[in-house]
Amino acid sequence: MPAFSLEPAQTAWCRELRTLAADRLRPLAEKGEPGHVNRPLVAELGQLGLLSRLFTSGALDLCLMRESLAYACTEAETALALQGLGAHPVHAHGTPSQRERWLPRVADGIAVAAFALSEPGAGSDAAALSLTADPDGPSRWRLTGEKCWISNAPEADFCTVFARTTPGAGARGVTAFLVPADRPGLTGTALDMLSPHPIGSLAFDAVPVTGDDVLGEVDRGFRVAMGTLNLFRPSVGAFAVGMAQAALDATLAHTAQRDAFGGKLKDLQTVAHQVAEMALRTEAARLMVYRAATAYDEGAADVPKRAAMAKLLATETAQYVVDTAVQLHGARALRRGHLLEHLYREVRAPRIYEGASEVQRGIIAKELYANVEAAQ
């Protein structure tokens, strides 16, 4: 099964992606300004045909892309992932006119997308969001409130925005809207974050939207959000696996060459065992990510549980592997510009976004107990 053994063509494609990322994407990434959308990099992803694959490939292909790009260029991986996250609701739930207007531009790397779910008071508890969609006539609303920690904000050309259309209804009263960036009343501010991603806040001051901007159905937007996250959570794990593998390979090379205590660093049993543990956990995370992605592609009933497991294990594993790699490299890994210094800043965020590790544990437990109740 693809969950445990990739086809030769898939393996070759991953090698090709690593080469493309190193040769064509990394130079563009290095010219970008940290914390801002790197439009030349996004455009190159479009030229290479990678963005269009977001809408034609399955979850496993998405994972292979993200893992391979992350290994050689995390900025390229993130740019691709954010395009997919912001535009997938349009692909999956948009009207023909919405899809025709935006998806070709996203695929070409011309239009930048954002996924606006989190708020200052509703991050992990996404169903508690308070951005309001106040009625303004038949099939018309005004969006008022704030979104925070939004990737590609405030520079995105359009946002998938989740707003409350029915007060007091929890997850059942949320609607997804496609909101172009030029709508009156929509402003934003960039946030200075630990990792170099473009992240910001969005302010909505009576921003007008209509029925033509709805993605899916009114009051059914939470399904749009969760469906998107079920697809992308395993691929967040793939991003983490790519970083973990890069850190592991760097550690193998360093410990095999570094002289220490009359031999090579790898000859110390404590070092060798740590490297073995890094490899063990990385491979286990990779297999769980592939299995979760395959379950999504097969339409399995337990996708939410598998997606949560994959994201949880892979992101926690990557944190461990990168941290251990830094320790085994010593002070050189803390120097600005070192691969591991870069990965150390990159690896922390995935344990929080698209559902923190604690949220993933809650999802897993909920699904497990639901199965117990269904069997009784």
Q: Which residues are catalytic?
A: 354
Task: Name 352's Cβ contacts closer than 8 Å, sequence gap at least 6.
Answer: none
Q: Which of 80, 71, 64, 63 is nearest to 22 (CA)?
A: 71
**Euclidean distance between CA atoms 97 and 211, whole angstroms:** 12
**Euclidean distance between CA atoms 119 and 148, whole angstroms:** 5
Q: Could you say which DSSP state residue 119 is in?
A: B
The 3-state DSSP composition of the chain as helix, strand, coil percent (nearest 5) reads 60, 15, 25
Q: Which residue(s) pair with 201 in the sheet?
A: 189
Enter the tokens of residue 116.
């606006």
Contact 320, 243 (CB under 8 A): no
User: Taking the CB of residue 12, how many other CB atoms lie within 10 A of it?
Assistant: 11
3-state SS class at 197:
coil
Q: Where are the beta strands (DSSP E) in 44-194?
A: 113-116, 132-135, 140-151, 158-164, 174-180, 186-190
Distances (CA, A) of 80 to 86, 92, 109, 163: 10, 17, 9, 25
Which amino acid, 226?
A: M
**Euclidean distance between CA atoms 369 and 217, whole angstroms:** 30
Contact 116, 147 (CB under 8 A): yes
H/E run at residue 350: none
Residue 218 exposed, middle or buried by CB count within 10 Å (0-12, 13-18, 19+) = middle
